[in-house]
């Protein structure tokens, strides 16, 4: 009896349980499943059929990237079918008397060996330095590589990304002349938005050589030298001698590693003046304990997309902030916004596959296949709550003011710039207030 015949019945059961008509084409020419499928799995290697019967989504994704499996159909249909293949909740850590300890031991070893300065730099460059032109195919014109903010239902991706940049600036209460640090500044969208629209003296850091060069070209083109600077630098090496008024960390914590989070936030605290605010915008795990999405999906992302990346639950993130002696003062979940953002990216990549192949050249097909699954799969994961996204605003508490606690205009015990209500974030006159500050800022050059 062949392996194909042994796996035929389990494969038929898996396909029959999917929410749309699907089929499987075997290497010997046999086809099982729906006669008119919307989605077809073409098996080139029997390992892929085994992974299909096991519901090992991460392994199937690897099979697709490595050419052991072909997928005929669109990404939306694939992601509608994928959750039905799973046999366990991907937000739960491996359980049992043996698998639980093995999983925890493996995680502990991994956590403590993946985040030296040299490894962090190599891992960041592995992801972000593929090709600027490749990312430009599916990101918005500002190249914002993080969750958009769809404050109205009919927003385009470009509008949602601008709304997100402004949302962060409003939450941080940026003011003309303040010193602002963007940790993990990417292609410079927030860094430049804050400088141009809020008049701050902005500094950004990145470990990506491509991003560093790209942003410095933009700074020169926009004539922002002296007001904006972009450094190729590890967060651990940022100068602490002149504290910043406000700090943003967008999509950065995912690269830090769980054991390093308290160290990271302690560093942020030392870089922040007393009373100053920091905004942490990061992907979080859907489960309280799982360090990655299960079903092999986390392993796939670590191998092909984000080596060294790690997610934690929002509760762990806030605990780490507290251990770093920051005070979380506001949290907002943007999970549905990221699902929508990712579908924008996924659809844009699908529309430019031929151009992506031309840009990437050698080994293009592996990269494209990995990113097709990564973007659409991540969109599905955010839709289902396997992963989430939180913006957490925190402060470095200052000493209590010398007052009797009844001073007018603010809460005397606030100990920070945060007014302890959200009115300022959504005030109707916020845009006009910002424009007035920008006009004031442009009356004279800023240094920093």
Rounded mean pLDDT of 266-291? 93
Residue 124 confidence class, pLDDT cut points 50, 70, 90: low
| Model pTM score | 0.88
Question: What's the CA gap between 366 and 357, in Å, rounded?
Answer: 10
In a domain, 406, yes or no: yes
Q: Which residues contact 80 (CB under 8 A, 6 or more apart)?
A: 19, 20
**Tally of domains within the chain:** 2
CATH of the domain at 74: 3.30.1050.10
Report whether 121 contacts 131 (CB < 8 A).
no
Q: What are phi and psi of 135, to 5 degrees?
A: -65, -35
- Can you list the alpha helix ranges (DSSP code H) found in 240-287? 261-271
Q: Is the dihedral of CA 426, 427, 428, 430 positive or negative?
A: negative
pLDDT per residue over 298-338, tens digit each? 899 888 888 878 899 999 999 999 999 999 999 999 999 99
Confidence check: pLDDT of 438 > 50: no
Domain boundary among 64, 85, 106: 85
Residue 443 confidence class, pLDDT cut points 50, 70, 90: very low
Residue 437 confidence class, pLDDT cut points 50, 70, 90: very low
- The confidence score (pLDDT) of residue 257 equals 86
SS3 per residue for 280-335? EEEEEECCCCCCCCCCCHHHHHHHHCCCCCCCCCHHHHHHHHHHCCCEEEEEEECH
- The confidence score (pLDDT) of residue 448 equals 33
The DSSP line for 56-76 is -HHHHHHHHHTTSEEEES-HH
pLDDT per residue over 56-85, tens digit each? 999 999 999 999 999 999 999 999 999 999
The answer to whether residues 31 and 151 belong to one domain is no
CB atoms within 10 A of CB 394: 28
In a domain, 100, yes or no: no
The answer to whether residues 36 and 158 belong to one domain is no
Domain boundary among 41, 62, 85: 85
Distance of CA 54 to the CA centre of its chain: 29
In a domain, 339, yes or no: yes
Confidence check: pLDDT of 100 > 60: no
Q: Which domain holds residue 31?
A: 3-85
The answer to whether residues 247 and 305 belong to one domain is yes
Q: Mean pLDDT across the chain, nearest whole number?
A: 87
Question: What's the CA gap between 277 and 244, in Å, rounded?
Answer: 9
Domain boundary among 61, 85, 109: 85
The answer to whether residues 257 and 316 belong to one domain is yes
């Amino acid at each position: 009896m062949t392996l194909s015949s042994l796996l035929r019945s389990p494969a038929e059961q898996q396909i029959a349980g999917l929410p749309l008509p699907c089929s499987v084409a075997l290497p010997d020419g046999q086809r099982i499943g729906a006669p008119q499928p919307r989605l077809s799995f073409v098996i080139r290697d029997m390992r892929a059929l085994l992974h299909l019967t096991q519901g090992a989504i991460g392994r199937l994704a690897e099979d697709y990237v490595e050419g052991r499996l072909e997928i005929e159909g669109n990404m939306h249909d694939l992601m509608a079918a994928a959750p039905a293949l799973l046999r366990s909740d991907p937000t739960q850590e491996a359980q049992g008397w043996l698998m639980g300890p093995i999983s925890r031991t493996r995680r502990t070893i991994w956590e403590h060996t993946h985040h030296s300065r040299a490894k962090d730099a190599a891992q960041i460059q592995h992801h972000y330095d593929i090709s600027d032109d490749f990312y430009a195919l599916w990101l918005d014109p500002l190249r914002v590589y993080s969750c958009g903010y769809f404050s109205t239902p009919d927003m385009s991706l470009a509008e949602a990304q601008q709304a997100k940049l402004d949302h962060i600036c409003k939450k941080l209460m940026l003011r003309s002349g303040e010193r602002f640090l963007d940790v993990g500044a990417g292609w410079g969208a927030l860094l430049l938005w804050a400088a141009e629209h809020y008049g701050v003296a902005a500094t950004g850091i990145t470990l990506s050589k491509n991003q560093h060069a790209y942003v410095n070209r933009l700074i020169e083109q926009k004539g922002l030298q002296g007001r904006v600077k972009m450094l190729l630098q590890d967060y651990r090496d940022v100068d602490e001698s002149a504290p910043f008024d406000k700090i943003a960390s967008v999509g950065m914590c995912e690269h830090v590693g769980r054991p390093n989070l308290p160290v990271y936030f302690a560093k942020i605290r030392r870089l922040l003046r007393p009373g100053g605010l920091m905004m942490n915008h990061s992907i979080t795990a859907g489960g309280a304990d799982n360090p990655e999405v299960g079903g092999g999906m986390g392993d796939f992302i670590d191998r092909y997309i984000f080596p060294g990346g790690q997610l934690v639950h929002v509760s762990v993130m806030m605990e780490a902030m507290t251990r770093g002696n920051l005070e979380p003062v506001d949290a907002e979940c943007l999970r549905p916004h990221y699902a929508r953002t990712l579908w924008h990216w996924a659809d844009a990549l699908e529309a430019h596959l031929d151009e992506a192949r031309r840009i990437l050249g050698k080994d293009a097909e592996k990269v494209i296949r990995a990113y097709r699954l990564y973007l659409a799969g991540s969109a599905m994961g955010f839709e289902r709550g396997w992963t989430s996204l939180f913006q957490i605003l925190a402060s470095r508490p200052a000493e209590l003011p010398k007052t009797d606690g009844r001073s007018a205009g603010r809460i005397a015990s606030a100990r920070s710039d945060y007014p302890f209500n959200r009115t300022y974030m959504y005030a109707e006159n916020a845009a006009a207030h910002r424009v007035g500050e920008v006009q004031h800022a442009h009356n004279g050059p800023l240094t920093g």
